Amino acid sequence: MTAIIDIKTLYESNYLQWLEETIKCLKNRQLADVDYENLIEELEDLAKKEKRRVRSLLEQIIRHLLLSQYWDLEKPRNANYWAAEIISFRNQLNEDLSANLRNHLEENFNIIYSNALDYVKAKTNLTNLPELCPYTLEQILDKNWFP
């Protein structure tokens, strides 16, 4: 029981050491010594961060696709920048996109598009933007596709 109390104390006082000790306990199958409460909390936070990260990247791609396709006034000055941003965000997103994270994006696609649309409307004052996403997730993730 002492090891559990010590590990729980470490979580509050020295996070890195807590993490290293937790990993050591798991590797050595010392499951009785694992601080499950804090480990579960950390894993839940990690999952939330990953979901937020991929949603943010997808939103950024959609924003730049909309700007590139619909903001004709700024296109001569910004087309290359927008294309480069799309490529950069796609590369980041595709690099770590698992089946679970892809499912998460599909489930939240309309919300993500709505957020991107709100941003582009505020930035541009355009009135010709589609209320429903004109792109599929497959198109958005395809590094060779541009509208």
Q: Where are the domains of the chain?
A: 53-141
pLDDT of residue 89: 98
DSSP, collapsed to helix, strand or coil, labels residue 94 as helix
Task: Show the tokens assigned to 18.
Answer: 């807590």
Asked whether 21 and 7 are in contact (CB, 8 A), the reply is yes
d(CA 123, CA 118): 9
Tell me what the mean pLDDT of segment 59-80 comes to: 97
pLDDT of residue 118: 98
The per-residue pLDDT of the chain, averaged, comes to: 94
Q: What is the pTM of this model?
A: 0.84
In the 8-state DSSP scheme, what is residue 132?
S
pLDDT of residue 4: 47
